[in-house]
A = this chain, B = another copy of it.
Amino acid sequence: MPSTNLTFADRDAHRAWLATQAALPAGFRVGCSSFEFMPREAPKLARMTLTLIALDAPTTSFAALFTRNAFPGAPILIGRKRLAEPALGAVIINNKISNVCAPGGVETSERICAAVGQQLGLPATQILPSSTGVIGWTLPADPIIHAVPATIAALAGGSVLPAAEGIVTTDLYPKVRRATVDGGSIVGIAKGAGMIEPNLATMLVYILTDIAVPRAELRQMLARAADASFNAISVDSDTSTSDTVVALSSGRVPFNDWGVFERGLHQVCRDLAEDIVRNGEGVRHVVRVTVRNAASLGLARALGKAVVNGPLFKCAVAGNDPNVGRLIQAIGKYVGAHAAGINLAKLSARMGGIEIFANGVFQLDPAKELALVAHMKQAELYASVPSNDGVFAAPINYPPHERAVELEIDLGNGAASAAVLGGDLTHEYVSENADYRS
Contacts and interface: CB of A to CB of B under 8 A. Distances in A.
Nearest to A364: B41
A41 B430 contact: no
Interface in A215-244: 236-241
A312 interface: yes
A331 interface: yes
A154 interface: no
A240 B329 contact: yes
Interface stretch (A4-12, A24-32, A64-72): A64-72
A112 interface: no
A340 interface: yes
Contact of A340 (B70, B197, B236, B332): B70
Given A69-B332, A329-B240, A315 B434 contact: yes
Interface stretch (A54-62, A99-107, A260-268): A99-107
Given A427-B431, A429-B315, A430-B315, A437 B323 contact: yes
A181 interface: no
Contacts of A195: 312, 326, 329
A316 B427 contact: no
Interface in A300-345: 309-312, 315-316, 318-319, 321, 323-326, 328-337, 339-340, 342, 344
Given A100-B325, A326-B135, A437-B321, A332 B241 contact: yes
A69 B336 CA distance: 5
A199 interface: yes
A116 interface: no
A102 B361 contact: yes
A348 to B, nearest CB: 12
From A344, A362, A438, residue with most partner B Cβ within 10 Å:
A362
Interface string A420-435: 0000011101111111
Contact of A333 (B101, B238, B425): B238
A197 B237 CA distance: 16
A434 B321 contact: yes
A337 B71 CA distance: 12
Given A199-B337, A364-B136, A390-B390, A70 B427 contact: no
A383 to B, nearest CB: 11
A406 interface: no
This chain's copy number in the assembly:
2
A121 interface: no
**Chain A interface size, under 10 / 10 to 19 / 20 to 34 / 35 or more:** 35 or more
Contacts of A316: 433-436
Contact of A344 (B71, B323, B433): B71
Contacts of A240: 329
A386 interface: yes
A136 B324 contact: yes
The 3 closest A-B pairs by CB, nearest first: A135-B325, A386-B390, A319-B434
18 contacts: A67-B336, A68-B340, A69-B332, A71-B332, A72-B332, A101-B328, A102-B362, A237-B310, A241-B325, A241-B332, A311-B425, A312-B433, A315-B436, A319-B434, A321-B437, A323-B436, A386-B389, A426-B434
Interface of A: 40-43, 67-72, 98, 100-103, 105, 134-137, 194-195, 197, 199, 236-241, 309-312, 315-316, 318-319, 321, 323-326, 328-337, 339-340, 342, 344, 357, 360-362, 364-366, 369, 384-386, 389-390, 392, 425-427, 429-438
Given A101-B362, A135-B328, 4 more contacts: A69-B333, A102-B362, A238-B333, A318-B430
